[in-house]
Amino acid sequence: MSSMEGEVEVEMEEVCWNAMARGGDRPVEIGVRSGWEEEGLYLTWEDLWVTATNGEGSSRVILAGLTGYARPGEVLAIMGPSGCGKSTLLNALAGRLDSGTNQSGHVLVNGWRQRLAFGTSAYVTQDDILMTTLTVREAVYYSAQLQLPDSMTKSEKKERAEMTIREMGLQEAMNTRIGGQASKGISGGQKRRVSICIEILTRPKLLFLDEPTSGLDSAASYHVMNRIVNLARHDGRTIIASIHQPSSEVFELFDNLCLLSSGKTVYFGPASLTNEFFAQNGFPCPSLRNPSDHYLRTINKDFDEETVRGSSSQSKTTAEAIDILVKSYKLSNIRQEVERRVAEMHRLEGDVVKTRSQASFTTQCIVLTKRSFINMSRDLGYYWLRLAIYVILCLCIGTMFYDIGHSYASIQARGSVLLFISAFLTFMAIGGFPSFVEEMKIFQRERLNGHYGVTAFMISNMLSSAPYLALVSIIPGAMAYYLVGLQHGVDHFIFFVVVLYASMLLVEGLMMIVASIVPNYLMGIIAGAGIQAMMILAAGFFRLPNDIPKPVWRYPIYHIAFHKYTNQAYYKNEFIGLTFPNIQAGRGATITGEEVVKDFWQMEVGYSKWVDLAILFGMVILYRVLFLVIVKTGEKVKPMIRAVLNGPPKHGIQVMGQPSTPLADATL
Ligand SMILES: Nc1ncnc2c1ncn2[C@@H]1O[C@H](COP(=O)(O)OP(=O)(O)OP(=O)(O)O)[C@@H](O)[C@H]1O
Ligand SMILES: [Mg+2]
């Protein structure tokens, strides 16, 4: 499409809308812009209802039958008072509503029903979820390496990252750490821009932005929005942004406006015609007032003593004003035109949305491992604090059990010290859980935006944590081992450290599983601690294996508790090869290590300590696989559960359905 043609078309479109607004005749048929048809994304929603159910079974309407569209090359702004449903609309369109809500109505992309989650669109959420330990440059650069395809060289990716950082005006803060609750870093507005940077790196075809300008001054808002608008205009991207309080300059950048009040459409149409719509209904914008301020003031009923002065001398309450506007919009020609366009786009049957080409799996694993390794090294709470506490604790163990000797009483003491190390020392690995949960949140955000998958995350987490876990196993382990004076021989010590390492991996794996199930870290710590305490109780120390009650405790808990195998491995490693003086009547003068393990501790001696170690590593793998399965199943099952819970649609025609089903084929 030549630029001349484009201009003519835009002008004709303006004429058409103007005619509509003034209630003129139906304009000549104007097709959707042809220039972007090849690759652009047309998003339409029709009679979209979202309700939230509370615990008592009553439900509350959050979005009430919205209809609208977003087209390539245009920016749609969603505006309305706080709590009117802007984020909910964005979430519904992006297929990301949470489980407490029901959705009905059509949401179509290029005329097809398809799920948008995972890589087809980018979404900048209202909250900034960023890795706080990284600098701005690192955060954007790692993201570029993760998302941009392998066909681009490293330097090209770096260049794109730096260019995007500059576009968002972040060059001054490039080398500053992002920072979080614990340490102050860049400002709130800068964080907002970093979040935007990360999502626009790949120039996504469909971009959702929830309050992109919050925390920014009016000049910064203008520049940020201008870049975003350019992305739409020049690259033919489809952009939907919710926005709180745009300045008049920013407002002029929008093509279309969706004005909501308590989930109802007050206005949907060209932003430039809003003024006329309000004026026609008796609420003209006073001169010298920012039009968007005027619209929001007119439709905000949160403070109900507020009255708005219309063009007539009578003042109206905001509730009345909203009522007038909503009714008037329903009957307006603008709405008819919107519906006509939506119907036209329904018939499009354009391309099915494909996920973007991105970095290969290996690149993703390498980049994620590097990023996670740096994060772990900078986050004191992840491993360093644990190392310090372990060192102190092992000093305590070492002094408490110093030079344990080979007396008969040392059998019990050895058992206790080994149990303490295998159970309580590893138990404390939950201290790093909050840091892991933070990483998990970043994973969930990036996963939803399709940056990488759960397997890459799991592998990278395992690789990056390996050296730290080795450190927290070897140093404190050596201190405890040699201060206590456990069995001599380097091979025994190495085995001891490897078992400690495996136990740490197991606790980490367990906590990963917990993190994938429970919603926050406090609940995670409680759940993780509870599960481990149960396993420790049944591990065969506090109650000897033969005395453990058979149902539940012996079968299955004793056998599935990894502490059983850790203890067995430790006891076999420690006792076998030693002899102790015997003080029990009816036996010889000495008692061998094998007898201690078999008779004193009642352990299974039919297999060697190496089998116990192998079982432990088998469990490490099993726990990681379980984590993968839970996350992957959650991704697949959640939408199904939602569909079942939603039941037959209450207001609309259908719930967003199977991916890639043309509307024509759908059961209406
Ligand atoms: N899962 C849910 N369960 C119950 N109510 C919900 C749920 N999600 C949203 N709501 C309610 O729906 C309304 C709209 O919420 P939403 O977050 O979309 O508002 P918003 O327009 O984005 O507000 P803000 O401008 O403050 O971000 C709010 O009143 C909120 O309390
Ligand atoms: Mg919101």
State the closest ligand 1 atom to the C-alpha of 85, by its place in the atom list counted from 1: 18
- Residue 603's beta-bridge partner residues? none
Distance CA 519, CA 524 (A): 8
Q: What is the pLDDT of residue 430?
A: 86
- At 388-406, the pLDDT tens digits run 999 999 999 999 999 999 9
Q: Is 138 left (phi over 0), alpha (psi -120 to 50) or beta?
A: alpha
State the closest ligand 1 atom to the C-alpha of 80, by its place in the atom list counted from 1: 21
- Residue whose CA is at the smallest distance from ligand 1 atom 25: 82
Higher pLDDT, residue 325 or 54: 325
For tokens 């920012």, the residue is: 290
Q: Give Cα separations from 435 to 382, 423, 428, 515, 521 (angstroms).
A: 6, 22, 14, 11, 9
**How far away, in angstroms, is 88 Cα from ligand 2 center?**
7
Q: What is the pLDDT of residue 7?
A: 44
Give residue limits of the domains in the chain. 126-203, 361-640
3-state secondary structure of 117: coil
> Ligand nearest 84 Cα, by number?
1
108 in Cβ contact with 44 (< 8 Å): yes
pLDDT at 312 over 70: no
Distance CA 391, CA 480 (A): 9
State the closest ligand 1 atom to the C-alpha of 90, by its place in the atom list counted from 1: 18
Mutate to test the pocket of ligand 1, among 61, 79, 82, 84 (most ligand atoms within 8 A of CB): 84
Q: What is the pLDDT of residue 310?
A: 59
Which regions of 521-637 does DSSP assign to beta strands (E)?
551-552, 555-556, 579-581, 590-592
Q: What is the pLDDT of residue 656?
A: 38
As a whole-number percent, the residues of the chain with pLDDT over 70 amount to 85
List residues near ligand 1 (CB under 6 A).
52, 62, 80, 82-88, 98, 100-101, 126
- Residue whose CA is at the smallest distance from ligand 1 atom 5: 52
Q: What is the pLDDT of residue 26?
A: 34
- Residue whose CA is at the smallest distance from ligand 1 atom 13: 83
**What counts of helices (H) and strands (E) characterise the chain?**
23, 17
State the closest ligand 1 atom to the C-alpha of 97, by its place in the atom list counted from 1: 1
pLDDT at 333 over 60: yes
- At 106-120, the pLDDT tens digits run 888 888 776 665 567
Q: What is the pLDDT of residue 351?
A: 67
State the closest ligand 1 atom to the C-alpha of 89, by its place in the atom list counted from 1: 18
Q: How confident is the model at residue 655 (pLDDT cuts 50, 70, 90)?
A: very low
The tokens describing 364, both together, are 């993703």
pLDDT at 196 over 90: yes
pLDDT at 170 over 80: yes
- At 244-282, the pLDDT tens digits run 889 999 999 999 999 999 999 999 999 999 999 999 999
Once rounded to an integer, what is the mean pLDDT over residues 49-55?
85
Q: How confident is the model at residue 380 (pLDDT cuts 50, 70, 90)?
A: very high
> Ligand nearest 125 Cα, by number?
2
Mutate to test the pocket of ligand 1, among 60, 86, 192, 292 (most ligand atoms within 8 A of CB): 86
Once rounded to an integer, what is the mean pLDDT over residues 54-74?
88
Least confident of 34-48, 191-205, 371-385: 34-48
Mutate to test the pocket of ligand 1, among 78, 87, 240, 265 (most ligand atoms within 8 A of CB): 87
Q: What is the pLDDT of residue 583?
A: 84
Q: Give Cα separations from 637 to 294, 442, 634, 641, 662 (angstroms).
A: 45, 21, 5, 6, 22
Q: What is the pLDDT of residue 1?
A: 39
> Ligand nearest 63 Cα, by number?
1
Q: What is the pLDDT of residue 563?
A: 96
Once rounded to an integer, what is the mean pLDDT over residues 339-348?
88
Q: What is the pLDDT of residue 22?
A: 43
For tokens 């099952």, the residue is: 637
pLDDT at 353 over 80: no
pLDDT at 101 over 50: yes
State the closest ligand 1 atom to the C-alpha of 126, by its place in the atom list counted from 1: 27
Rg of the Cα trace of the chain?
A: 32
| CA neighbor of 440 nearest in space, from 629, 625, 631, 639 | 631
Mean residue pLDDT of the chain comes to: 86
